[in-house]
Structure 1
Amino acid sequence: MDKLVAQFPKQIADAILIASRSELSFDKNKTFNNVVICGMGGSGIGGKMVAQLFGDQAKLPIVLVQNYQIPAFVDDSTLVIASSYSGNTEETLSVTKQADEKGATIVGVSSGGELIQFCKKNEYEFIKLPGGNPPRSMLAFSAVQLIHILSVAGVIDKNALDLIAKARHFLNDELIHVKNQAKALANHIYEKQSIFYTNSSLEFVAIRARQQINENSKQLCWHHVIPEMNHNELVGWAGGNEHFAPVFFVSQFLNNRNKTRTKLSQEIIQNKCHSILSIEGRGKTKIEESLYFIHIIDWASLFLADKRGVDPVEVKVIDYLKRTLDKK
């Protein structure tokens, strides 16, 4: 897993190459009214990331589906992007088949499996990813393809991939700092109950932290966002103690009110636990900053796994769940 995390910047370049070689085309007479991205776990986080990073420039509403049921509004004017690294995720397949019945335009993103076969059989376009790795380690590949599809469909700017390409070089330049921050994060949450906070427009960063600590480090945690947590969870800190290890991912691009809210939240929480860790964003763009946070998180999950003596690749409980579901 450490090699896969180390290759994250290179994966961005490789993913862009795959996107550039794909031959996507959309009916010029087709008008989309909305976009649905369906995906779970390591495949689903890419959809959340893209929807939040590009939501302010998207010309259409982008809705994420992480369940078995397609929204009722889906019809022949909907673009549905099905993202499943294995190609066999049952929730994603369920939604994709429902989208087909409703006449939606479907594009698959996968390394193979039933999803690719479904797209071939029904003459839907798809982008095939390199296979054989844990889905959570392939975020760059899935996210870049989603950006590419939305760009070709005219939902977001045509130069969107150029911004991702620049971020790759930024990550390489920041590698030493990234690893130092990751070690500090792993040490901070070791043998503690970790809670991840960020602003609502970067919720995918906190979700990524929760998912990576869950899967790679085999440790429970939770997340929340500012300003919403100021209206509920902040009160819960009355019961806080030194067992909790809050982590704030603080964006450079916060508006003034959320800057103030973040600072005040840190001060309030600091009084209820041993310490907090604040990781400040870096980068010239929101995309660079976001990938910077993600790279820190991914490394931290491996450092924490090592400290805890657990295998970051092993997910036996998920395998058990899938096998049992198959028998039902």
Structure 2
Amino acid sequence: MLDDQNQIRLIDRSDMLGIISNFSHLVESGYESANSLEADFGYCEGGLVFLGLGGSAIGGDIIRDWIGPQIPNGVRIERGFELSAPIASDSLVICCSYSGNTRETISMLEQVLGSKHRNVLLISSDGKLKEIAKRKKLRFVQLESGMPPRTTLPAVVSAISVISDSIGWTKKASSEILAAADACDVFIRKNLGRDVPETKNIAKQLAHQLHGFIPVAIAPNCMTSVARRWKTQMNENAKQHCFFGIFPEISHNEIVPWQRDARSDALVALLLKGAGLNEELEQGFLRLENLLRGSARTISISPVGKSKIEILLNHVLIADFTSTYSAILSRVDPTPVEEIERFKHENE
């Protein structure tokens, strides 16, 4: 079925496959939008505080895993109505909402602005965030309109890489992601795209392997972003449950039910590997993999890449395409998320 282009077009009516295949364009779009800013952020020794939820927040997670260690005081992600702690005056606050109308994100932004913090960057396609940027004369990165928020991750990450270079946290992050984007396009064409037959298509094969099971994405703590991406993409694209766990934390709790709970038969452990692991973490993750293989259904996913960002983005692409093919396999249009939209409107 996943090689039948007519069937795919009938089910994927909003062309999610087309959107996620246009990866390098989105990276370049974010790069150009951020590069057009004429703003001096200073060095921002307080680090980065990223405000956002859902598909608009995942870009902050990727940034934290990729260049977080190079940013003074690191990257802090806020997903809520209220800030978890005060924000240092010398930090950069990035507020991201694709629609520009996310209530929680706007609530946090109001707290930031109420504290007179001015080193703020807004990222959106439209909505209230764009209005606030104009009214308050705040820096603003314009995203392309008319897309599902979760598909704009490449643009958001690319835009922040430009800002990071301009601040001086990094020197070549933006050039790294542009190079990675070209490599990711090759990865799509050879391994993931709709025209790649199932016998050679990693994502189509994974969709079949996961069909009828609940995936649990497990990653080392330096790759938390891609484990979360698996969860959210399976939730939104495939309309299926998916959970994630982070090593070494799960070795202190979750390994018990993996070996003892009979309901583990309904689960598949997706072991995500391959980006920035030190020797201790790599050896520990290998021990975990061997342990789970003795008691549970497991699948290892290890994309290659010339840089950490390329490996992280290839992981993202595998999750994006697999979740989309999983939806098609279940005869579900991957794009609409009526439940989320209805919940938002009911709470306005």
TM range (shorter): over 0.9
Give 1:199's match in structure 2, choosing from 220, 227, 230. Answer: 220
- 2:255 and 2:344 mapped to 1: Cα distance? 36
Query: Partner of 2:72: helix, strand, or coil?
Result: coil
- 1:33 and 1:119 mapped to 2: Cα distance? 22
1:285 and 2:307 aligned: yes
Say if 1:309 and 1:68 are closer, same or farther in 2 by CA, change over 3 A: same
Query: Partner of 1:133: helix, strand, or coil?
Result: coil
Larger relative contact order (C-alpha < 8 A, sep ≥ 6)?
2
Equivalent in the alignment of 1:79: 92
Equivalent in the alignment of 1:269: 292
1:260 and 2:283 aligned: yes
1:220 and 2:241 aligned: yes
Contact 2:52 2:78 in 1 (8 A): yes
Equivalent in the alignment of 2:103: 90
Give 2:37's match in structure 1, choosing from 22, 42, 62. Answer: 22
Q: Deviations over 1:240-284 (max 9, x none)?
A: 5432111111115422222222222222222323x3110113001
Query: Partner of 1:55: helix, strand, or coil?
Result: helix
Deviation at 1:188, TM superposition (A): 1.7
Contact 1:75 1:103 in 2 (8 A): no
Equivalent in the alignment of 2:73: 60
- 1:31 and 1:21 mapped to 2: Cα distance? 20
1:33 and 2:56 aligned: no
Give 2:115's match in structure 1, choosing from 55, 77, 102. Answer: 102
Give 1:169's match in structure 2, choosing from 165, 179, 182. Answer: 182
- 1:190 and 1:322 mapped to 2: Cα distance? 30
1:125 and 2:139 aligned: yes
- 2:216 and 2:343 mapped to 1: Cα distance? 26
Contact 1:252 1:281 in 2 (8 A): no
- 1:48 and 1:18 mapped to 2: Cα distance? 20
1:4 and 2:4 aligned: no
Q: Deviations over 1:179-222 (max 9, x none)?
A: 52212221121110111111100000010010000000000010
Say if 1:31 and 1:43 are closer, same or farther in 2 by CA, change over 3 A: closer
Deviation at 1:43, TM superposition (A): 0.6
Unmatched segments (≥5 aa) in structure 1: none
Contact 1:217 1:310 in 2 (8 A): yes
Query: Partner of 1:48: helix, strand, or coil?
Result: helix
- 1:111 and 1:287 mapped to 2: Cα distance? 24
Contact 1:76 1:103 in 2 (8 A): no
- 1:224 and 1:288 mapped to 2: Cα distance? 22
Contact 2:51 2:77 in 1 (8 A): yes
Say if 1:233 and 1:125 are closer, same or farther in 2 by CA, change over 3 A: same
- Normalised by the length of structure 2, the TM-score is 0.88
1:70 and 2:83 aligned: yes
Letter in 1 for 2:314: Y
Equivalent in the alignment of 2:5: none
Contact 1:134 1:313 in 2 (8 A): yes
Equivalent in the alignment of 1:312: 334
- 1:258 and 1:169 mapped to 2: Cα distance? 30
Say if 1:252 and 1:315 are closer, same or farther in 2 by CA, change over 3 A: closer
Q: RMSD between aligned alpha carbons?
A: 1.7
- Normalised by the length of structure 1, the TM-score is 0.93
Query: Partner of 2:69: helix, strand, or coil?
Result: coil
Unmatched segments (≥5 aa) in structure 2: 1-15, 194-200
- 2:58 and 2:73 mapped to 1: Cα distance? 20
Bigger CA drift: 63-72 or 306-315?
63-72
Letter in 1 for 2:308: K
Say if 1:23 and 1:109 are closer, same or farther in 2 by CA, change over 3 A: same
Query: Partner of 2:245: helix, strand, or coil?
Result: strand
Say if 1:285 and 1:164 are closer, same or farther in 2 by CA, change over 3 A: same
1:159 and 2:180 aligned: no
Equivalent in the alignment of 1:229: 250
- 1:123 and 1:39 mapped to 2: Cα distance? 20
Query: Partner of 1:56: helix, strand, or coil?
Result: helix
Say if 1:150 and 1:60 are closer, same or farther in 2 by CA, change over 3 A: farther
Contact 2:219 2:247 in 1 (8 A): yes
- 1:82 and 1:31 mapped to 2: Cα distance? 16
- 2:112 and 2:55 mapped to 1: Cα distance? 22
Contact 1:181 1:279 in 2 (8 A): no
Contact 2:216 2:270 in 1 (8 A): yes
Deviation at 1:147, TM superposition (A): 2.2
Bigger CA drift: 286-295 or 75-84?
75-84
Letter in 2 for 1:161: S
Deviation at 1:75, TM superposition (A): 4.9
Bigger CA drift: 178-187 or 135-144?
178-187
Letter in 2 for 1:114: K
